Amino acid sequence: MEKEEYTYEDYQHTANWLRSKTTLQPQVAVICGSGLGGLTDKLTKAESFNYKDIPNFPQSTVPGHAGRLVFGYLKGQPCVMMQGRFHMYEGYSLRKVTFPVRVFHLLGVHTLVVTNAAGGLNPKFEVGDIMLIRDHINLPGLCGQNPLRGPNEERFGTRFPAMSDAYDRDMRLLAHRIWEQMKEQRELQEGTYVMVAGPNFETVAECMLLQKLGADAVGMSTVPEVIVARHCGLRVFGFSLITNKVIMNYESHKTANHQEVLDSGKNAAQKLEEFISRLMDCVPQTEKTC
């Protein structure tokens, strides 16, 4: 039976295993959401490891998530990228879902970039838009499902970490400057991401509720990783690719589906790769800003 709870030594064991397999020391970790795993193709001197071969790592079971950890350089920045993430709806505990984040921290990562595919709740959003995550609403967390639940490991962080500054403001400002340089037709969006447990897509009534709560985009991931990253003291930058507009009309014959999500990710791939590449070229270092 697989472990659902981990000791500090378990995280250290995985980090040591990875150190024994690669000499690259990543400064930035990127978690690639549904259909966004092509970002790893931009890495130079890449070294990849299947999740199934990494001690304590869960397995990714969702289409569009390749299940590989890839080390390499992006614009000279030493990175590690997750080509696929883990979700509550796969049956994993939130400790298991967020396991890689603490391993990254032990490897010396100082910045976590989280990406996801999301449904657009904001009526101003269009499919293909990129939304910088300014804040989040953790619906599972409000119901007691939190990755920090249970005994606190002080070697990672404090018992009660703040989340009011979860998404780094300087990184968002940098992203806006980069987007202006890219001269894209659509403006770079910014807003609040709400996490639902999934795996079903939302009902019309649920979408109406989420919109009233102030959410601009909805998805089934990201928030647990952000909470654990901030608990570890990592800088966090996140964005959502709007892959579909949520159904807000009972008369509509459209329904959300995962293939639409993957297709939208594929169509936006070139734009996303340039955006992230430019961001990595200017990502703030530990002791200085670009």
Q: What is the pLDDT along the chain (290 residues), one digit of tens a residue?
A: 456 689 999 999 999 999 999 999 999 999 988 667 778 888 999 999 999 999 999 887 766 557 899 999 998 899 999 998 999 999 999 999 999 999 999 999 999 999 998 999 999 999 989 999 999 999 999 999 999 999 999 999 999 999 999 999 999 999 999 999 999 989 999 999 999 999 999 999 999 999 999 999 999 999 999 999 999 999 999 999 998 889 888 887 677 777 776 777 677 777 888 898 899 888 766 544 44
Domain of 194, CATH number, reads 3.40.50.1580
DSSP H/E element including 188: none
Catalytic residues: 34, 65, 87, 89-90, 117, 220-221, 244, 258
Tally the domains of the chain.
1
Query: 134 is in which domain, residue-wise?
Result: 8-281
E strands, the chain, where?
A: 28-32, 44-50, 68-74, 77-83, 111-120, 130-138, 189-195, 217-219, 235-245
This prediction's pTM: 0.93
- pLDDT of 60-106, one tens digit each? 776 655 789 999 999 889 999 999 899 999 999 999 999 999 999 99
Indicate whether 3 belongs to any domain: no
Indicate whether 288 belongs to any domain: no
- pLDDT of 148-160, one tens digit each? 999 999 999 999 9
Indicate whether 290 belongs to any domain: no
Indicate whether 1 belongs to any domain: no
